[in-house]
Amino acid sequence: MKILYFAWLRERLNRSSDDVSPPADLATLADLVDWLRANDEALDFAMANPAQFKLSKNARLVPWDTPLAGAETVAILPPMTGG
């Protein structure tokens, strides 16, 4: 599974993506994000307030409680500011 990072999150992590093999017992995208954060100190720090992030599964914005099954790509999208 490919995890994509965008905008300032990508810059803060100094990478645009990760290839991961999450454990089979993860049921939702929220479970996946919890697992990613537990295994990556930089991501955990950057996502200190996870509720502000949007998630995408296979290029579609979805709620955090979306089932993980069938996910080939998951994108973590930080809040954007405009000017």
- Which domains, and CATH codes, for the chain? 2-77 (3.10.20.30)
Q: Helices (H), strands (E): how many in the chain? A: 3, 5
Element (H or E) spanning 29, and its range?
helix 29-38
Q: For the chain, how are helix, strand and coil distributed in percent, rounded to 5?
A: 30, 25, 45
pLDDT tens digits for 2-45?
999 999 999 999 999 999 999 999 999 999 999 999 999 999 99
pTM of the model: 0.93
Predicted pLDDT of residue 82: 55
- How many CA atoms lie less than 13 Å away from 72 in the CB half-sphere? 3
Closest CA to 33 of 59, 11, 57, 12: 57
